[in-house]
């Protein structure tokens, strides 16, 4: 069996997303591209501000729109809310009562009980999960773009037997300079899909700085001993991960000699 690692809509499908917002705020998650790591708490990564409360009344498991009542008036129109595995979009707000559209997270509509935790998704989570995240339908979510890439991989692999395992990685736009491009995304947490299956049979993967993420990785990558390696500063902050730094074979052509190659000569000039 060939095993690839998928990043994408794990936030909803695995429940880790709800776990993050529901009480994992004391844990940390290295998030960003700075050498120290921003060490945002889970709540800071997953929840918009302090917009988290509980349902005051139950919510049915049917209908594409609903009116919900919450314990506190913390949301506003155009917020994306998460309750259980479901994403809701707030179309209007009146105190602690909200009219919402459902089926916004490409997942199922479900019933929810009173006292269930409900919270507003952070802008980072919205970009990862929701198509048209800035009101422009052509701006697809990270999950959508990964699905397109996976389908292309599957088509290219043809009859090969492949297992895709979803691992937790968050992406953001605004690629660091000098490659900044708001239409593209880069892993803002350690990219667990960019790991190394070593010849000793071990999988070495970049430590995400989070016990919950490590545990999730261990549950979906089975059959191999795994080791988390802290390469945050040396690899991730330089826009690479373990596989980039260890498994790639790079050679320079011998003609012309490397010291006469234009690319290297230009780089030297730039650095002087």
What does pLDDT average to in each consecutive run of 10 residues of the chain (272 residues)?
62 66 63 73 78 92 92 94 88 96 74 92 86 66 84 88 85 69 80 88 90 87 90 88 73 67 53 44
Q: Is the dihedral of CA 171, 172, 173, 177 positive or negative?
A: negative
In a domain, 109, yes or no: yes
Domain that holds residue 182: 2-246
Mean model confidence pLDDT for the chain: 80
In a domain, 193, yes or no: yes
Q: How many domains are there within the chain? A: 1
Query: What's the CA gap between 162 and 113, in Å, rounded?
Result: 38
In a domain, 198, yes or no: yes
In a domain, 269, yes or no: no
In a domain, 251, yes or no: no
The reported pLDDT for the residue numbered 10 is 66
In a domain, 228, yes or no: yes
Residues 6+ apart with CB under 8 A from 134: none
In a domain, 27, yes or no: yes
The reported pLDDT for the residue numbered 120 is 92
Cβ-defined contacts of 39-42 (< 8 Å, 24+): 39/209, 42/210, 42/212
The reported pLDDT for the residue numbered 73 is 96
> 3-class SS at 35?
coil
In a domain, 257, yes or no: no
């Amino acid at each position: 069996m060939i095993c690839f690692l998928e990043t994408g809509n794990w936030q909803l499908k695995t429940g880790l997303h709800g776990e993050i917002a529901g009480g994992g705020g004391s844990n940390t998650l290295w998030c960003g591209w700075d050498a120290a790591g921003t060490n945002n708490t889970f709540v800071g990564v997953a929840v918009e501000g302090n917009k988290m409360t509980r349902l005051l009344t139950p919510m049915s498991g049917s209908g594409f729109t609903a009116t919900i009542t919450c314990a506190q008036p913390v949301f506003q129109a155009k917020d994306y809310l998460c309750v259980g595995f479901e994403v809701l979009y707030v179309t209007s707000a009146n105190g602690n009562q909200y009219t919402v559209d459902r089926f916004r997270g490409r997942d199922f509509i479900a019933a929810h009980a009173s006292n269930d935790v409900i919270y507003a998704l952070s802008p980072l989570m919205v970009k990862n999960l929701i198509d048209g995240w800035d009101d422009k339908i052509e701006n697809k979510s990270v999950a959508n773009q990964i699905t397109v890439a996976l389908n292309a991989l599957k088509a290219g692999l043809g009859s090969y037997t492949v297992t895709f395992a979803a691992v937790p990685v968050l992406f953001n736009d605004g690629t660091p300079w000098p490659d900044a491009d708001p239409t593209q995304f880069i892993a803002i947490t350690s990219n667990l899909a960019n790991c190394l299956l070593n010849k000793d049979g071990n999988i070495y993967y970049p430590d995400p700085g989070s016990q919950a993420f490590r545990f999730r990785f261990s549950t979906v990558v089975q059959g191999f001993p795994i080791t988390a390696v802290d390469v945050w500063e040396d690899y991730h902050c330089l826009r690479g991960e373990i596989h980039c730094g260890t498994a790639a074979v790079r050679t320079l052509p011998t003609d012309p000699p490397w010291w006469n190659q234009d690319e290297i000569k230009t780089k030297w000039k730039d650095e002087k």
